[in-house]
Chain A
Amino acid sequence: MGTAAIEVRGLWKIFGPKADRIIGSPDAELDSAALRAKTGCTAAVRDVSFDVRPGEVFVVMGLSGSGKSTLVRCLTRLIEPTGGDVAIGGEDVRAMSAAQLRELRRHRVSMVFQHFGLLPHRRVLDNVAYGLEIQGVAKAVRHEKARSILSLVGLEGHENSFPDQLSGGMQQRVGLARALAVDPEVLLFDEPFSALDPLIRRDMQAEVIRLHREVGKTMVFITHDLSEALKLGERIAIMRNGSIVQVGTPEELVGAPADDYVADFVRDVPKSHVLSLRWISRQPEEDDPLDGPELPADTVIHDAIPAAMASARPIRVVSDGELVGVVDRVDLLGAVRLGEGADDDHAALAGLPAEEA
């Protein structure tokens, strides 16, 4: 636990009068409408706990109003939490003085915003250098650093443009560069791409994956877009009405949703693109030939299709050199059919191979 980059324990944010008295009282159990009617307060974040491992991309996903943007702002106290604990790099953020908090924001955690938050009266170069400027870094040094970061995000040649001369995607690259320029340990993304066109969004997602590979920062990524979450997240937390409903890998969310809400969310996800063979493998039966092709258990179903095409024998699914089960063509087809949304009942997934057999 001490190794986590970010630890969040029992975090609350309640907006409204005398909000701090609600935590721990019976009112805390009320749903949002009842709470507002009774106390005039709105609970945006309710008793949220999670850990982010160093170097991990942790995605928080939820619909608008689920409290995810408030949650990410509570991490560096851009919004002051009402209760609970936040630790970044093992240091208690809530206990920090104003000066310590400023140091944290200046050097260790930086953020990328949905609407970019660029300074319209400054050139791109000075926007990127802004974080260094307020640290008091000399002009020549900060400009040099800003230039190198701009080339990292593919914006060389635009140093002297003003933000309004750039497209939305390029503006967000500036926002990204500004966050990277201070060389933080942790990057926070608040729905950074939801204001962009779908094609640009895809480019930017690829950009984030590339940057993560190159600079290896810990990232907390807020989004309302499930496909974005599945694409970027090593682990995903699903939020609803201020609480976290489930935390897990994409595979866990799709394969074993914690409740109907999550199930409903992931229903349209093509499961053959997310689930691995582990989820559909079954114990070999007596007449199954065991000389078919061998694939690791974490192979995504979709990627197993060529092997199944090449050989009529069941695929042998192995993990750490041990056979965990087999998958034949019928099993694969069933899983692909599921992925296209033909079958709503995720529970059928487990029973499917038996049925077909």
Chain B
Amino acid sequence: MVTAPAEMAPPVSVGARAQRLIRWIAPAAGVVLFVALYLVFKGTDVLPHDDDAAFFRGLNDARDWVDENRNNNPVFLFFLNYIRLFVADLFTVFQSALAGLGWPGLIGVAAGLGWLAGGWRIAAVSVAGFAGIGVLGLWDASVDTLALTLSAVLLSLVVGIPIGVLTGRSPSVRRIVTPVLDVMQIMPTFSYLSPIVLLFLIGPASATLATMIYAIPPAIRITALAIERVPPTVVEASESLGATRWQTMRKVRLPMALNTIALGVNQTIAAALSMVPLVALIAAPGLGVDLIRALAQVNVGAALVPGIGIVLIAIVLDRITRSAAVARAGSRVWRWAGLVVAVVAGLALTPVLSAEFPEQWEIQIVRPINDVVSWIEGNWYVFTGFLNDTVAYGLLNPLQNLLTSAPWWLITLAVLAFAWRISGLRAGLIAAGCLAAIAALSLWEHSMETLTIVLVAAVITIAAGAALGIGAARSRWFAAVLRPVLDAAQTMPSFSYLLPAVALFGNGRFTAIIASVIYAVPVVARLVEDGLRAVPGTVLEAARSAGSTDRQLLWKVQLPMARSSLLLAANQGIVMTLAMVVIGALVGAGALGYDVVAGISQQEDYGKGLAAGVALVLLGIMLDRITQGASGRLNPEKKRIA
């Protein structure tokens, strides 16, 4: 130990070169071995898809048992059924209250809340947004969507904020909550529709609960973060004056965390709204119903209108909650007075103007949109068709062919080796375990098809996101242009990216890829840019004063120092891509996503749909583990222990 460095010291360059060589020999040998094994075993152990697998039939039987015992098994009778009834009632209360306000009343309330949160600008945005919904002929469906969203958000906050506070205060709670939230956020939204329907039947109750599962993680995480971030000096000052724990919580921690928690509310609402079209699959009323039906018919115009409606609701709720999160100076009385005036004015107008939104004010835009879409289809076909075919024949088909024709154990071994190298043995074992479980679910082939689309989309996403992020970090004006676009993109509900993709490329896998790229690129670009910008100015100055060129600065200083942000960006890009590719089943991307949809709509496919949901979770965990460990591996602390 003591003499070793002295002995190794002279032949440093030879040693380093040999070491570098050794580092590349192992992966190269791995690739060669993989190719050799593939060529030898190609076509064996391929697990082709079987719609009628014994495993699916078993799940169907389980479903039948639940259906028969729903009203006499005590778990259902005294627990699950009550949850269902309570949530359904909550939805009904919201629905009748919002409908009872009438359209002028609801617009008045929105304007008042906008005024209260952010003054006349936000009030104007609220009025314009909700009036726009009426003009598009979406009023009744929007009220349902709003009622569902609000009940899901209310439940998420009532449950999520206390859990978040506990998580922020107690390390042992955090150790339990964090991995649960991690899995919840990796789970593609489709995967929990089937189990929820099994427990709570189809309808608004299930829809609210499904929305809640997706919307509660940000409420918990951001509350926990807000509580944690309260400066310890202030807490200490409070304790030094003899405050009890509860006094410090109520008078110091919660008030100081309030603005950040409001941001959590904002994120919770955004998440809830992106579930709107998906819960339409389990018979939730609202804007999603028309959207899903139109997507299935590839009627872009008919899908775009409710899509715009959801985006308008999203914008109004986002602006209101976001300005509420910014502390505002000014007279409190004045703000509350504005709220009262707006609400009263709205309610007073309701009997005058009728509760129904007047039909003569509505405009029809479905036909003009469809005209534009068919013009695009007719005239841009050369371009869109070329892109579509290039990706399909050049990337998707060969990769899918490889994944489905190789023996399942070879793919699993390859994933084990790859994950081991990138993220360590533990991640490798988890990833390989996920794949083995997928094989056991009888969904190997469909999973490989989904994986193919995800991989292609992820590569495009990461490349585009990194390019945009680096560009924004290096050029001030590029960042100034890009930032508002990315901000806007992040407010939009996820499925809204499907619509332009469908308009350009029709139905199919490539549409799902385009949609997921548009969905995930803003986040990747943002993380890359933030990571690069977080490199301390003093370090950059030092590198520049040593005579680095811009390119050297980027490759030798900024990118290495932003390593953990870049890896996080890759991880997020892949997880988001998976989520979107699954939703792409709605526009013909097929595979696992389609199995889930079929499982909900057709009795005999239930088992397959449920299994597909599980397979999606397993795919998500696998992709997350492979990429997530990467940031930990170069952690110097860990390295030393290893």
Give the interface of A toward B (CB within 8 A).
76, 78, 101-107, 110-111, 113-122, 130-131, 133-135, 175, 178, 182, 188
Contact = CB atoms under 8 A, between A and B. Distances in A.
A297 to B, nearest CB: 42
Contacts of A78: 236, 239-240
Contact of A117 (B236, B242, B244): B236
B326 interface: no
A3 to B, nearest CB: 25
Nearest to B241: A131
B233 A115 contact: yes
Contact of B251 (A103, A114, A133, A182): A133
9 interchain residue pairs of minimum CB distance: A117-B237, A106-B242, A105-B242, A131-B241, A117-B233, A111-B240, A102-B242, A134-B243, A115-B233
Nearest to A115: B233
B183 interface: no
Candidate in B238, B240, B251 with the most chain A CB atoms within 10 angstroms: B240
B311 to A, nearest CB: 34
A250 B243 CA distance: 37
A110 B238 CA distance: 10
A181 B238 CA distance: 14
20 contacts: A78-B239, A78-B240, A101-B242, A105-B240, A110-B240, A111-B237, A113-B233, A113-B236, A113-B237, A113-B240, A115-B233, A117-B236, A119-B234, A120-B256, A121-B256, A122-B255, A133-B251, A134-B241, A178-B241, A188-B240
A175 B327 CA distance: 23
A134 B242 contact: yes
Candidate in B243, B255, B256 with the most chain A CB atoms within 10 angstroms: B243
Interface of B: 231, 233-234, 236-244, 247, 251-252, 255-256, 258, 327
Contact of A104 (B231, B242, B252): B242
B27 to A, nearest CB: 38
Contact of A131 (B234, B242, B244, B256): B242
B420 to A, nearest CB: 31
Contacts of A114: 233
A182 to B, nearest CB: 7
Contacts of A115: 231, 233
Nearest to B243: A134
Nearest to A117: B237
A41 B558 CA distance: 36
Q: Dominant SS at the B interface? A: helix
A102 B234 CA distance: 17
A113 B251 CA distance: 19
Contacts of A134: 238, 241-244, 247, 251
Contacts of B231: 115, 117
Nearest to B254: A121
A106 B241 contact: yes
Contacts of B239: 78, 105
Contacts of A118: 234, 237
A164 to B, nearest CB: 10
Given A119-B252, A133-B251, A103 B237 contact: no
B399 to A, nearest CB: 50
A284 B244 CA distance: 66
B255 A110 contact: no
B232 to A, nearest CB: 9
A113 B242 CA distance: 15
Nearest to B248: A134
Given A119-B252, A134-B247, 8 more contacts: A104-B242, A105-B242, A110-B241, A113-B236, A117-B233, A119-B238, A119-B251, A178-B237
Contacts of B241: 105-106, 110, 130-131, 134, 178, 182
B235 to A, nearest CB: 8
B495 to A, nearest CB: 39
Contacts of B258: 121
Nearest to B247: A134
A117 B252 CA distance: 11
B240 A130 contact: no
A216 B539 CA distance: 51
Nearest to A116: B233
B234 A76 contact: no
Contacts of B255: 119, 121-122
Given A119-B252, A134-B251, A103 B242 contact: yes
A227 B136 CA distance: 75
Contacts of A122: 255
A102 B244 CA distance: 7
Contacts of B251: 119, 130, 133-134
Contacts of B244: 102, 134
B340 to A, nearest CB: 25
B360 to A, nearest CB: 50
A105 B239 CA distance: 8
A236 B153 CA distance: 59
A5 to B, nearest CB: 17
A18 B252 CA distance: 32
Nearest to B239: A78
Contacts of A110: 240-241
Candidate in B237, B256, B258 with the most chain A CB atoms within 10 angstroms: B237
Candidate in B233, B238, B241 with the most chain A CB atoms within 10 angstroms: B241
Contacts of A104: 242
A182 B241 CA distance: 9
A228 B242 CA distance: 29
Contacts of A120: 256
A131 B241 CA distance: 6
A11 B252 CA distance: 31
A345 to B, nearest CB: 42
Contacts of B252: 119
Contacts of A182: 241
A132 to B, nearest CB: 9
